[in-house]
Amino acid sequence: MANVPDLQPWHRLAPGAEVHASDLDEAFTLEQYLAREEQIFAEVGERIEKAAQSTSGAVANRYDPQSASSPRQNPHDWNRTFEMTPDTVRGGVLLVHGLTDSPYSMRALAQVLNDAGFYALALRVPGHGTTPAALAEVSAEDWMAAVRFGARHVRERIGPERPLVLVGYSNGGALVLRYALAATADPQLPSASRVVLISPMIGVNPLARIVRVISALGPLPFFEKARWLDVIPEYNPYKYNSFPANAAQQSFRMASMLQTELAAAETEGRTAALPPILTFQSVVDATVSTQAVVSNLYDRLPAGGHELVVFDINRLSGLEPFIRREDAGMVARLAAGAARLYRRTLITNVATDTLEVRARTVAPGALAVTDEPLGLHWPAQMFSLSHVALPFRSDDALYGSDPPPDGPGRMVSLGRLSPRGEKAVLTVPIDTLMRVGWNPFFPFVARRVTEWVQ
């Protein structure tokens, strides 16, 4: 703990008005949810931002309203729950972001679905969008209750006949999948007609069990830092960089419960009642297990119109010899064996001497491959996607390589950073700045999601 940086006010203050499972009964409304958010953000502004403005002295600090990393540099604070309503509502979608993230990560997909005629609710999951300390005070039950609340609201908003779609990113993917499983056994829960998963947190990291033991020391003043796995400057306006041990423990619990529920649903024959599931996953993913998405979810689903889309590594990057062998060989392992009961699509180079990509698709129950050129290509400097890249467009103002020229003038643009220089001089770990944050193949994702929900 001696090497952990000193904790800042945002590592200690968890807003007192945060919503928990005990609040979210059947009578709780979206208006009440938004009102509680207003109280939460007012507390952060009064107790954190005012102090940071006069004492931080940092250019990149999301809690300093004058910083380029402050969400106040944007006309809309995308840390908050938001809605999008089309002129004609033909369905509804609940979008659930990932761990340490915020509704900002669901903005592009919400717009895609809104353009397709869907009312979209991107819910701020409890503990997110405010201070990292808030994630030290929430539970997997709080997250799950929020998803049930959100699904209920969307169903009420669109009526009983229109289709309800669930979209989950990372930890949000585990949440919406658990909800879909629960709805197969509980007729009181609004059932979905389609599920879309983005880099879903299906796999379980057993190291989280150790985290629970270590973080138990946190309430003791001398061991205060034990509550944190990472303490990093908060330079990202819409995502926490610091990571409390409780967040790892709760995501471990979430994934563990999901595995138990999947097994029970399979035994009871309820997986056949799941709505069609479309998943987008990178072959290489440092956060979740790609193999677990295949073996723990897709290979145990009966036929039901499901599809798995996998993004390969860039076979012309020149970095393939440096990629871990187990990751580089994942595509071959996914393709091996007999026909599957779900549709498989691989996004990969057209050939080993070009950056152009194609979609290679195998239909359920088949072995023959159908190729479709996409008119898209790998950026020359990119050797793979990442866990955090899939839901973001190339022109995303924060994470994209080509942010719009008319975007917020002072807002930090992380996607344009390409750090090359001396080591050990930056205030944040270099790997966090090197991780690609946008998806050059987002147009394919947008097209496929639109086709899926229609």
Q: Is 305 in contact with 194 (CB distance < 8 Å)?
A: no
Cβ-in-10-Å burial (0-12, 13-18, 19+) of 27 comes to: exposed
pLDDT tens digits along 399-451:
998 888 766 556 777 777 665 555 554 556 656 666 788 999 999 999 999 99
Phi, then psi, of 110 in degrees rounded to 5: -60, -40
Dihedral pair phi/psi, residue 146, rounded to 5°: -65, -40
The CATH architecture that domain 9-453 belongs to is 3-Layer(aba) Sandwich (3.40)
Highest mean pLDDT among 36-40, 231-235, 285-289, 402-406: 36-40
Query: Side-chain half-sphere of 339: how many Cα atoms within 13 Å?
Result: 12
d(CA 288, CA 322): 21
Tell me what the mean pLDDT of segment 167-186 comes to: 97
**Residue recorded with tokens 């147009």:** 443
Q: What is the DSSP letter of 296?
A: I
**Residue range 337-349: average pLDDT?**
92
Tokens matching residue 38: 């207003």
Q: CA-to-CA distance for 297 and 320, rounded, in angstroms?
A: 28
Please name the amino acid found at residue 399.
Y
Domains of the chain: which residue ranges?
A: 9-453
Strand order in the sheet with 164-169: 82-84, 118-123, 91-96, 164-169, 194-198, 277-282, 307-311, 343-349, 356-362, 369-377
User: 240-272 pLDDT, tens per residue?
Assistant: 999 999 999 999 999 999 999 999 999 999 999
Q: What is the pLDDT of residues 356-397, one digit of tens each?
A: 999 999 999 999 999 999 999 999 888 899 999 999 999 999
Tokens for 337, please give them: 């064996």
Q: For 90-209, where are the E strands, in sequence order? A: 91-96, 118-123, 164-169, 194-198
The number of residues making up the chain comes to 454
With beta carbons less than 8 A apart as the criterion, state whether 400 and 393 touch. yes
What's the CA gap between 67 and 382, in Å, rounded? Answer: 29
- Look up the pTM and report it: 0.93
Residue 54 pLDDT > 60? no
